[in-house]
Structure 1
Amino acid sequence: MGITKYFEEFELNEKRSTGGRTVTETDIVIHAGQSGDFFPHHMDEEWCKTQPFKKRIAHGTLIFTIAVGLTAAVINDVAMTYGYDRLRFVKPVFIGDTIKATVTISDKKDHKKPGFGLITELVEVFNQHGETVMVCEHILLVNKKVS
């Protein structure tokens, strides 16, 4: 869905939630192939049985990628990603887990370039049990209505 939302229209603590997405073995195998990360934590079920979690875990970068995709249901025509900060993988995600995200406007400030501002979204990703599995800050460069 496309919207046009200028810097001045964002409000601190404004929230939105995404739908869910179940992580599959196929997701993990494809991500391993694309990233080159074939570490046994993701690919070797038998080795994982000897480790603390006892089963394969999804790549953190896969969870980040899925989370970003979940949040992209709303596309702002006057904003673009400026970057991500403070990325943390809080708990492991396993095959069969369903994740969803909550996005909260956590900061708003002027950009050095006139006519633009920076919006920071706190992105919190939860599994089907409501446990936080990932957090990060998504920074948007957003046009101002008035410069």
Structure 2
Amino acid sequence: MKLFWIVLPVILIIGALIGGVFIYRAGTIKTETVQEEQSPIPAPTENAQISPAPELKRADLKLQIQNGRGVVGVAAEAQQFLEGLGYTDIEIGNAGSYNYEKTEISIKKDKKNYFDLLREDLSKKYLPLEKAEILDIESEFDAIVIIGKE
């Protein structure tokens, strides 16, 4: 039994030393960083044609308009306004609360090129737009507009 109490601390000390060495080595291992070589960007030639930006079609955007004011008919009014501008796939509903001070837009990342168009269209009637957020890619809608009090 006396031998057990002598061997046990020796084993614990050896284990602690080996563990400490592994921890020390893991902390000092250097990771290699790979630098990409930058290739020079060719200067445009005179014959190069600039391709026009794709035309954005309002009808290609699936919208949901939410009433963030709490006034009956606000979302339907916004729907009629946007349909008059060429948006065709619009659903309406109520926001989670009715205390939105300003109009907000949330849009999917893959439809972000529509943001400026939608903001410009909405600014004709609903000023100012407070903020924009990215919608989850799995959202049913491409953009959600919450109509605020202003």
TM over 0.5: no
Indicate the structure with greater helix content. 2
Computing the radius of gyration from Cα coordinates, the structure with the larger value is 2
TM category (shorter chain) comes to under 0.3
Q: Normalising by structure 2, what TM-score?
A: 0.22
Q: Normalising by structure 1, what TM-score?
A: 0.22
Indicate the structure with greater strand content. 1
Structure with the bigger RCO (C-alpha within 8 Å, sep 6+) is 1
